[in-house]
Amino acid sequence: MNIENLNTMMENSISHFEKELSTLRTSRANPSILDNLLVDAYGSKTPINQLGNISTPDSSTISIQVWDSSLIKNVENAIIESSLGLNPQSDGALIRLPIPKLSEERRQELSKIASQFSENAKISIRNLRREALDSQKNDKKVNNLSEDELKKNSIKIQEITDDFIKKIDQIFENKKADILKV
């Protein structure tokens, strides 16, 4: 595993972390909170974004224009059964999701979930570091790398890891502030 490869893999971990955070609800309407929602449609679980257009007409409402009107009840049920705490309001083929203001307790709960996502991202970064270091040690064993090069590369890998951990912390702090902001 080379350094450029390591950077790319760590960037992918950061992207995944940001995508996970985007599914957490703040006080503003954001269509990405529905990303992980699956609906019983056509005999299988289907992502909600494949069943209709999702938009935010204003900062406190998400609207879903369901393409197949026979699936409106299924979409509503999936939203009700999810842990999002939203009540769908159906109006023909359009489903409106008013985003209620978050209670202090719910804000703390979402903050803890964001913290878990952050910790998982850090674990992913550390695992990549370990793999890179192991790769370097294996190269040294087969005499493709000198002791000095191993030491230099190990320091570089640690610096990259530290940078990515700082990025994760910064992204988490920003999301936490967004969640806790009233």
**Domain limit, last residue, from 69, 98, 127:** 98
Tell me if the pTM is above 0.85: no
CATH of the domain at 118: 1.10.132.20
Model pLDDT, residue 12? 93
User: Between residues 97 and 93, which one has the greater pLDDT?
Assistant: 97
At 16-75, the pLDDT tens digits run 998 888 777 666 777 877 877 888 888 888 888 888 888 888 878 889 898 888 888 888
CATH of the domain at 94: 3.30.1360.40
Q: What is the DSSP string of the chain?
A: --HHHHHHHHHHHHHHHHHHHHTS--SS--GGGGTT-EEEETTEEEEGGGSEEEEEEETTEEEEEESSGGGHHHHHHHHHHSTT----EEETTEEEEE-PPPPHHHHHHHHHHHHHHHHHHHHHHHHHHHHHHHHHHHHHHTTSS-HHHHHHHHHHHHHHHHHHHHHHHHHHHHHHHHHH--
48 shares a domain with 10 = no
98: pLDDT confidence band, cut at 50, 70 and 90? confident
Model pLDDT, residue 1? 63
Domain containing residue 117: 3-22+103-180
46 shares a domain with 14 = no
Model pLDDT, residue 37? 83
12 shares a domain with 37 = no
Mean pLDDT, residues 156-176 taken together:
93
Count the domains in the chain: 2
What lies within 8 Å, CB to CB, of 107 at 6+ separation is 179, 180
17 shares a domain with 80 = no
Residue among 109, 125, 112 nearest 163 (CA): 125
123: pLDDT confidence band, cut at 50, 70 and 90? very high
Mean pLDDT, residues 111-140 taken together:
91
Model pLDDT, residue 127? 94
Structure tokens at 141: 């064993």
The percent of residues above 90 in pLDDT, for the chain, comes to 28
**Domain limit, last residue, from 81, 98, 115:** 98
91 shares a domain with 41 = yes
- Summary mean pLDDT of the chain: 86
